[in-house]
């Protein structure tokens, strides 16, 4: 099953007899929003113009639980997540397409949550809304209630201990920008650096300048160069399990299964007893 869909393919599917359920997951995180300033308003952006038929999904409220010791975007309560997806019209036997403003991180988090909880057919709009050249509509839309019942466990998941172990025995990728991995800057979390043994693999390098994913073969070559050889167990983390979902999506396109450490650096760095590595080397 394909994990991404082009804008032209989506336009064709939406015009067909069985259009997919369409979810708008626009979201942004900056140092300012993390520090308590007014956050980006994805719902307002959606109301100002979205792909016709799309229903807005709030990443912070519906794709994550409350921030705390488990991280800034921990897993949401399963029942609450399922209710949100059913309210958005998600059904078990109808394909789902998710998109965001173009970065792809939030859409990938929605893709991962739906796939992890058992939905069989979810794709991300490659390039997001910026790649869409079709019509937009304003205001809000509601969908007929869906019937999706989430059952967690369909994709591999890591906790902090599992991530630490995988960094020693397999391949743990850090999807954040290189300067955060090296500990040179840390605009969001309390401590800079990375999990000892993790490899720096910024997810921004998985896409072209216009935000489209690199071809599957190029992604496979990139991850192979980082150590994702046949038989190697792979995991990914980031700041709070959002951009790492984007890297898991890129790995999926490349044909490489990978586990997501949802708590990511925001959980790891909140515990002062956990080791922190700095600099360009994994150790």
Q: Please report, in tens digits, the pLDDT of each residue of the chain (283 residues total).
A: 799 999 999 999 999 999 999 999 999 876 444 555 667 899 999 999 999 999 999 999 999 999 999 999 999 999 999 999 999 999 999 999 999 999 999 999 999 999 999 999 999 999 999 999 999 999 999 899 999 999 999 999 999 999 999 999 999 999 999 999 999 999 999 899 999 999 999 999 999 999 999 999 999 999 999 999 999 999 999 999 999 999 999 999 999 999 999 999 999 999 999 999 999 999 8
Which distant-in-sequence residues (6+ apart) come within 8 Å of 202 by Cβ?
Answer: 175, 176, 177, 178, 181
Domains parsed from the chain with CATH numbers:
4-131 (3.40.250.10), 157-268 (3.40.250.10)
pLDDT confidence of residue 35: 55
Residue with tokens 């070559």: 221
pLDDT confidence of residue 29: 77
Instruction: For residue 106, give the nearest of 282, 245, 257, 275 by alpha carbon.
Output: 245
pLDDT digits (tens, 9 = 90+) for 189-234: 989 999 999 999 999 999 999 999 999 999 999 999 999 999 999 9
Helices 243-253, 105-116: inter-axial angle, 10-degree rounding: 70
Structure tokens at 187: 């605009």
Q: Which helix (H) or strand (E) holds 172?
A: strand 171-174
pLDDT confidence of residue 283: 87
Catalytic residue (choose from 238, 253, 254, 262): 238
Compute the chain's Rg from CA coordinates.
18
pLDDT confidence of residue 40: 84
- The three-state secondary structure class of 23 is strand
238 catalytic per annotation? yes
Q: Is this prediction's pTM over 0.85?
A: yes
Q: Phi and psi (nearest 5°) for 103?
A: -65, -35
């Amino acid at each position: 099953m394909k994990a991404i869909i082009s804008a032209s393919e989506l336009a064709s599917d939406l015009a067909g007899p069985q259009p997919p359920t369409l979810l708008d997951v626009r979201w942004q995180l900056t140092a300012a929003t993390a520090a308590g300033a007014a956050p980006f308003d994805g719902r307002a952006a959606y109301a100002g113009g979205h792909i016709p038929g799309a229903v807005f999904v709030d990443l912070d409220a519906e794709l994550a639980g409350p921030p705390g010791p488990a991280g800034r975007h921990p897993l949401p309560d399963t029942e609450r997540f399922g209710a949100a997806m059913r309210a958005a019209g998600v059904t078990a036997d109808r394909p789902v397409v998710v998109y965001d403003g173009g970065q792809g991180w939030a859409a990938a988090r929605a893709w991962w949550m739906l796939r992890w909880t058992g939905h069989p057919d979810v794709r991300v709009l490659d390039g997001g809304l910026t790649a869409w050249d079709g019509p937009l509509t304003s205001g809000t839309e509601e969908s007929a209630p869906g019937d999706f019942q989430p059952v967690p466990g369909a994709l591999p998941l890591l906790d902090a201990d599992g991530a630490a172990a995988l960094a020693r025995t397999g391949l743990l990728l850090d999807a954040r920008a290189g300067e955060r991995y090296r500990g040179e800057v840390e605009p969001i979390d309390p401590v800079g650096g990375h999990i000892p043994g993790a490899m720096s693999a910024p997810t921004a390098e998985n896409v072209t300048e216009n935000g489209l994913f690199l071809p599957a073969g190029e992604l496979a070559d990139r991850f192979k160069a980082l150590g994702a050889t046949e038989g190697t167990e792979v995991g990914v983390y980031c700041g709070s399990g959002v951009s790492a979902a984007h890297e898991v999506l890129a790995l999926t396109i490349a044909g490489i299964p990978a586990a997501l450490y949802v708590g990511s650096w925001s959980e790891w760095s909140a515990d002062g007893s956990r080791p922190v590595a700095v600099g360009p080397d994994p150790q």
